[in-house]
Amino acid sequence: MSSLPTTTQAFSARFTGVAIGLHWLIAVAIVGSFSVGLYMVDLPLSPQKLKLYSWHKWAGVTIFLFVMLRLVWRLSHRPPEMPAGMPAWQRKAAEATHVMLYLLMLAVPLSGWLMSSAKGFQTVWFGVLPLPDLLDKNKELGDLLQEVHELLNFGMAALVIAHLGAALKHHFIDRDDVLARMLPFLARTTGDIK
């Protein structure tokens, strides 16, 4: 999948091709559907709005499934070790951020699905596969779940910014391989970039 490793050491220090692929696929999908979600919510009702809502919901279901796949992969494939010189608090922070991100990547689409059911709009994946409605239509609950969906999203956005900031800090300040090993086009483990 990825280009040939120059040394075995470089190979073992990188994430697997599947992990890298899933990471970036999900990253792009999350940024995309987050933006669509922010944009669509205040639009006046129109066919375009209905389309955006459907696409947003299809994306959410798809992301959920890819995250499940990614979790299975993550649990069956040990990620590379963190850099040796990393302080304990940073390791803990990194660990916690990753756990929270995984939880939110599942909780955000779940809350959206439940919210849709409570608002009386079933989710029909790609317009073909209807997901069951676990909740009956209930306006108050729907409004509450919308708040929950929003809060989870802003929580996730904050974590993503922290995650991104940490990756850039590792790359440009610590000059270690933390970012490089998750990049598909950087096979080397050193921090230098052309």
Partner 1 sequence: MKYRLFGPAFAGALLSVAPAAHAIEFNQFQAGKSALSFVSKQMNVPVEGQFKSFRSKIAFDPAKPAAARAELEIDLASIDAGSKDANDEVAGKAWFNTKEFPVAKFIATSVKPLGSNRFELAGKMTIKGRTQDLTTPVTLRQEGNSASFEGSLVLKRADYALGEGMWADFGTVANEVQVKFRLVATAAAAATPTKK
Footprint on this chain of partner 1 (rule: CB under 8 A): 45-47, 50-51, 53-54, 119-124, 127-128
**Nearest approach, Cβ of 124 to partner 1 (angstroms)?**
5
Q: Which is nearer to partner 1, 127 or 132 (CB)?
A: 127
**Nearest approach, Cβ of 122 to partner 1 (angstroms)?**
5
Q: Counting Cβ atoms within 10 Å, is residue 161 exposed (0-12), middle (13-18) or buried (19+)?
A: exposed
Dist CA 22 CA 155 (whole Å):
21
Q: Which is nearer to partner 1, 142 or 176 (CB)?
A: 142
Using alpha carbons, list the distances in angstroms from residue 155 to 53, 95, 108, 171: 21, 17, 10, 24
Dist CA 182 CA 184 (whole Å):
6
**Nearest approach, Cβ of 110 to partner 1 (angstroms)?**
18
**Nearest approach, Cβ of 136 to partner 1 (angstroms)?**
12
| Amino acid symbol at 5 | P
Q: Which is nearer to partner 1, 43 or 99 (CB)?
A: 43
Q: Which is nearer to partner 1, 96 or 129 (CB)?
A: 129
Dist CA 29 CA 107 (whole Å):
15
Q: Which is nearer to partner 1, 42 or 81 (CB)?
A: 42
Report CA Rg, the chain: 19
Q: Which is nearer to partner 1, 35 or 48 (CB)?
A: 48
Show the 3-state SS of 133-160.
CCCCCCHHHHHHHHHHHHHHHHHHHHHH
**Nearest approach, Cβ of 142 to partner 1 (angstroms)?**
9
Maximum pairwise Cα distance, the chain: 59
Beta bridge partners, 130, equal: 124
